[in-house]
Structure 1
Amino acid sequence: MQLPSYIPPLTLLFSILPSLVSTHAIPKPSSNPSSLLINTTTGPIQGFINTTAPNVRQWLGIPYASPPTLDLRFAAPRPVKPWTSTLDTTTFAPSCMQQFSSGKTVYTEEVPQFLINGGVSEDCLYINVWAPGTPTEESLPVIVYVPGGGFSSGGANSVYKIPDQLIQRTQSVVFVIMNYRVNVFGFPNAKGLDDINLGLLDQRMVVEWTRDNIAAFGGDPSRITLWGQSAGGASTSMYSYAWRSDPIVSGLIADSGAAGLSVGEIDKAQTNFTSLASVVGCKGLSDAATLTCMRNVPAGTLENALSTSEGLDFGPTPDGMVVFGNYTKRAAEGLVADVPMIMGNNANEGAGFVPFTPDGPGDEALDEASLGIECSVATGVSDRMLSNSTTYRYEYFGNFSNVSPVSWMGAYHSSELPLVFGTHPLYRGNSTAFEWSVSETMQGLWLSFAADPSKPPSVPSFSWPAYEAGEATLAEFARHNTTVQAGSGTLDASLC
């Protein structure tokens, strides 16, 4: 199932960087979890504290792999070369090369806070870490976040999806947010390559980096939850099948995405790569020569050619190693990691996908545009039921004017993220008391799950039951002016 072709990349051309405050100089690198100067496995890094979150330590732009340029373009990620001098990690690294679009959506016209900031570069394999200044535990649960973007765009530097406000309030989690390669740079599907799903291999390397380094930041490497939204949610779900025997993570969360979303034999003949090659001067060559030629084309030329060419899609493609063609069959055979998972979708997903008009496209068009995400999640949950995998299912109904400024937007694709990240009050007026209640409840449940995925997530007012079809086990957020309630009415996979 693929996302509609008219979904634009989540890209923005302005930059918003944190304001920095001076920090006390530390004479030598430290692994003390309260320090700003941290020893990683590849070298020392210097973090900072931001005035908007004065009790949160931040490290931005940490390299986790070698730059995927020249001979490493279209190759699996390689270990980063260690360094000895302290690396300044106080600004975001560029996002990975994007697939641009001129189409208008709610994101470009109403809520640009979801879009990426700053520039782009092929040298983009960097992560960012946020940790409390006064942690509630000596060793905290960890969340590794996979941004969305339709596998064509997206990245870590997106202001609605920065966790400093969540950490400032709770002091109870360490966060890692990644860049990973997208479009042809991340999923080239070219003849002659051993690996064609490079973006997913990037994600795995981030999880491995977190396992090996997060204790120095005050995180517990035995309590890592992988969380993603949209394409990030699909990635998280695919991860559970790709690394089932060694998942590293103890919990999984997938918002509005599941294994199978944007996955398929979209280019079985592997012609998209050669078609793009012909546009940039690499036409009529052998497979090996085409790869060599394409590795020498400037990254910006490839990006522009891809963005202006019709019908060229690059995304996860079955390879029998990282991506599979039939997840239902694999689930029925138990070929999935035995890791608890939260999965869910929003009530009006389609508002994020239709071309923007002030009055909206109408309910019928919104319902049709929502089906791709809804069916992906319904099928993903159904598959997990086949493997008897513990799953917590939700639906989000929030329609808050400072996040959904046009009435027909409602609970559109991505709109739950400002509630969970705690960024909802920052850009468009004050949040209501009910909005704060929904936000803090969702945060509490996500963090409860990360703290111990073996137990039902819970907050004082609600204990989330594991999902059972037909039973009142669906967590409904912000429905009928109720913060959270257990319901049963959600899409069944058999209807897809």
Structure 2
Amino acid sequence: MHFKQLLLFLTVLAHDVSCWEPSFDGLTVETTAGQVQGFINSSTPGVRQFLGIPYAEAPLGALRFAPPQPKKKGGPIKATAFAPSCMQQLSNASTIYTEVVPQFLINGGQSEDCLYVHIWAPVVKDSHRRKRRPLPVLVYIPGGGFTGGGADSVAKIPDTWVQRTQSHIVVIMNYRVNVFGFPNAKGLENRNVGLLDQRMAVEWTRDNIAAFGGDTSRITLWGQSAGAASVDTYGYTYPEDPIVSSLIADSGSATIRSSADYAQTNFTFLAGLVGCRGLSSDAGLACVRDVPAVTLQSALSNYIGSGARPSIAFVPVSDNVTVFSNTTDRALRGLVAKIPAIMGSNENEGAGFVPFTLAGPGAAALFALTQSIIACPVGLGVRNRERIGLPTYRYQYAGNFSNLAPVAFMGAYHSAELPLLFGTHDREFYGPSTPFEYDVSHTMQALWLSFASNPSAGPVIATSRRQRFEWPEYSSDTDSMVLFASGDRVLQLVDGDRIDANCTGL
């Protein structure tokens, strides 16, 4: 080959090699589950969305009631639609969520094949991808009383938040609930497999989020209600290897709800309802695993809805492996993750737990429910952390906005803070948001994001008045609990006795 021919050949070869690597658009990402193809929605053009990425094998057949198994790598994944929610426990009860704010309920279908994550990340241009520091990651666990819930809920979609800040990534998981997630059956080694789903979703995030632009050293585990209880529980379950760098628990703690079925009779009773009566533990499990998921769901939901006795329930049980019966003792023995946390509750949580009427049950009943179901258990969770010197940033949310709470008694009900945090308050509810509502929303978002960005420093923001606000670590001896949206003040520091003085055992 002559020199000129060789030079021409090498030039063509170099051109061909450069073409082998496609231009980076951030929408095709290699993961441990396979190559994922995301999309960009025209309403949030600065956000890459990856909806429905499997993090575990479908828990079907022999995998029903079993710990999740990591998803094996397969072919390309078209991540352009929400995955089905996990099988729900159905109810005909009338609540503010069914009658007034269905935006918090799940959309779409249900399936046992439900162990998926959903990711929202800023668009990253090819010219910037090697210069930009990896972003903090918020991994969100949805609530639902451990009997329902999932990622596909219009009140809790973070696309506009990510669009506005361009400085963080949000991952929202599905996990098994009710009997599918918390079977507590004799013969099972793991009785709270729904909590193991959550751990696997965190592990998947650790192993894959860098490919989406995330920082594996700055993963915050965040949840609300049952999701918050899961977050607080997670710290006690994984004291030596939490993976995450911080925790955020909205309206929930490790003591919020657990099963009293220590004799493990609920599963046996339910098995009898679906044709698996009088069998040994192993045979009973095998039998129920063969029952169609919809049949099992209907039997459970219809029986509980009938109010018949004996009452049964499938929520986390204290097995002292994933859930602990005495978190105070565990904290005092140092058996809790040594990472900072934000914890708090809402002023009128009780409105989310009563049968719906326009007038409501009255202020005294609402206050009693607020304290007993959410506020006092959260106070105990905060106090446990304070006793051993773990940095904790405590809040109470008092916002009462007519587009989110159009019925008078609702106020700062259970979940009411979420539309402000996710940025959905001005598009999914009833009418425009007020300037004050935007101020509260942006302030809370900035504090949550500041905390996720640098947990060891504590949340710090510049206020609308161009002043620096540093959220102090909570101390029961000082005014160190942040009160959001009370009166006309976006935030202020108050004494925790505003809540705890009405609790016993704190």
Give the TM-score, by structure 2 length. 0.90
1:116-137 superposed Cα distances (whole Å, 9 cap, x missing partner): 0001001100110000115994
Residue 495 of structure 1 deviates from its aligned partner by 2.4
**Corresponding residue for residue 438 of structure 2:** 436
- Superposed, 1:283-302 pairs within 5 Å as 283-302=277-296
Indicate the SS of the match to 1:394.
strand
Residue 30 of structure 1 deviates from its aligned partner by 7.5
**Corresponding residue for residue 11 of structure 2:** none
* Counterpart residue type for residue 147 of structure 1: P
**Corresponding residue for residue 152 of structure 1:** 147
- Superposed, 1:56-205 pairs within 5 Å as 56-83=47-74, 85-134=75-124, 137-205=132-200
Structure with max Cα Rg: 2
Indicate the SS of the match to 2:499.
coil
Indicate the SS of the match to 1:342.
strand
The answer (yes or no) to whether the contact 2:232–2:253 under 8 Å persists in 1 is yes
Question: Per the alignment, do residues 29 and 287 of structure 1 end up closer, same or farther by CA in structure 2, a change over 3 Å counting?
Answer: farther
Separation in structure 2 between the aligned mates of residue 133 and residue 351 of structure 1, nearest angstrom:
39
Corresponding position: 1:45 with 2:44: no
**Corresponding residue for residue 229 of structure 2:** 234
The answer (yes or no) to whether the contact 1:69–1:122 under 8 Å persists in 2 is yes
1:303-325 superposed Cα distances (whole Å, 9 cap, x missing partner): 01111113211111111211111
**Corresponding residue for residue 246 of structure 2:** 251
* Counterpart residue type for residue 411 of structure 1: A
Question: Per the alignment, do residues 416 and 31 of structure 1 end up closer, same or farther by CA in structure 2, a change over 3 Å counting?
Answer: farther
Indicate the SS of the match to 1:376.
helix
* Counterpart residue type for residue 495 of structure 1: T
Aligned pair partner of 1:308 in 291, 296, 302? 302
Residue 60 of structure 1 deviates from its aligned partner by 0.3
**Corresponding residue for residue 499 of structure 2:** 491
Indicate the SS of the match to 1:177.
strand
Residue 296 of structure 1 deviates from its aligned partner by 0.1
Separation in structure 2 between the aligned mates of residue 391 and residue 331 of structure 1, nearest angstrom:
14
Question: Per the alignment, do residues 56 and 318 of structure 1 end up closer, same or farther by CA in structure 2, a change over 3 Å counting?
Answer: same
Aligned pair partner of 2:449 in 438, 441, 447? 447
**Corresponding residue for residue 23 of structure 1:** none
- Superposed, 1:206-221 pairs within 5 Å as 206-221=201-216
- Superposed, 1:274-423 pairs within 5 Å as 274-310=268-304, 311-371=311-371, 372-423=373-424
- RMSD (CA atoms): 1.5
Which structure has greater helix proportion?
2
Residue 81 of structure 1 deviates from its aligned partner by 2.2
Indicate the SS of the match to 2:29.
strand
Identity within the alignment, %: 58
The answer (yes or no) to whether the contact 1:30–1:39 under 8 Å persists in 2 is no
* Counterpart residue type for residue 305 of structure 1: A
**Corresponding residue for residue 426 of structure 2:** 425
1:343-402 superposed Cα distances (whole Å, 9 cap, x missing partner): 000000000001000111111111122121011101100111122111000000000011
The answer (yes or no) to whether the contact 1:422–1:439 under 8 Å persists in 2 is yes
Indicate the SS of the match to 2:189.
coil
Aligned pair partner of 1:273 in 267, 272, 282? 267
1:206-227 superposed Cα distances (whole Å, 9 cap, x missing partner): 1000000000100000100000
1:77-133 superposed Cα distances (whole Å, 9 cap, x missing partner): 0011211x3210100010000001101100000101000000100110011000011
Separation in structure 1 between the aligned mates of residue 21 and residue 341 of structure 2, nearest angstrom:
37
**Corresponding residue for residue 16 of structure 2:** none
Separation in structure 1 between the aligned mates of residue 245 and residue 237 of structure 2, nearest angstrom:
15
Which ranges in structure 2 are unaligned for 5 or more consecutive residues? 1-18, 305-310, 464-468
1:447-482 superposed Cα distances (whole Å, 9 cap, x missing partner): 000001001201112210000003110011001210
Residue 492 of structure 1 deviates from its aligned partner by 2.0
1:177-219 superposed Cα distances (whole Å, 9 cap, x missing partner): 0000000000000000010110110000010000000001000
Runs of 4+ with deviation above 4 angstroms: 27-32, 134-137
Separation in structure 1 between the aligned mates of residue 124 and residue 34 of structure 2, nearest angstrom:
25
* Counterpart residue type for residue 43 of structure 2: T
Separation in structure 1 between the aligned mates of residue 422 and residue 35 of structure 2, nearest angstrom:
28
Separation in structure 2 between the aligned mates of residue 30 and residue 82 of structure 1, nearest angstrom:
22
Which ranges in structure 1 are unaligned for 5 or more consecutive residues? 1-26
Residue 52 of structure 1 deviates from its aligned partner by 1.7
Separation in structure 2 between the aligned mates of residue 62 and residue 108 of structure 1, nearest angstrom:
29
Of 89-98 and 316-325, deviating more is 316-325
Indicate the SS of the match to 2:145.
coil
